[in-house]
Amino acid sequence: MIDEVNPVASTGSEPGNEAVVVNNGTAAAYDQDSVQILRDAAHIRQRPGMYIGDTSTKGLHQLVYELVHNSVD
């Protein structure tokens, strides 16, 4: 059963051994081995849209706007 507030399905075992339902409806194990730690700016290079909202020209304009705005401050 999946809780709509917390989309992690419980496996009925100890906490920390949850199963996450992926797009195709199957359950994948999600534990400490699934967590990937990225150092320095690797996380930004891997998913830039998460930080600037868009990776097209609109995102580029947002970066230039932020650069100019922060320089004025």
pLDDT in tens, 19-42: 666 667 666 788 888 888 888 888
- How many Å apart are CA 22 and CA 38, to the nearest integer? 23
31/6 same-domain check: yes
Domain span including residue 25: 1-35
pTM: 0.41
Compute the C-alpha angle 20/17/23, nearest 5°: 10
- What's the domain count of the chain? 2
5/20 same-domain check: yes
Are the C-beta atoms of residues 19 and 29 closer than 8 Å to each other?
yes
31/47 same-domain check: no
Residue 32 has what DSSP assignment?
A: G
30/47 same-domain check: no
7/30 same-domain check: yes
9/30 same-domain check: yes
Q: Check residues 40 and 5 and name the one with the higher pLDDT.
A: 40
Asked if residue 4 has pLDDT above 50, the reply is: no
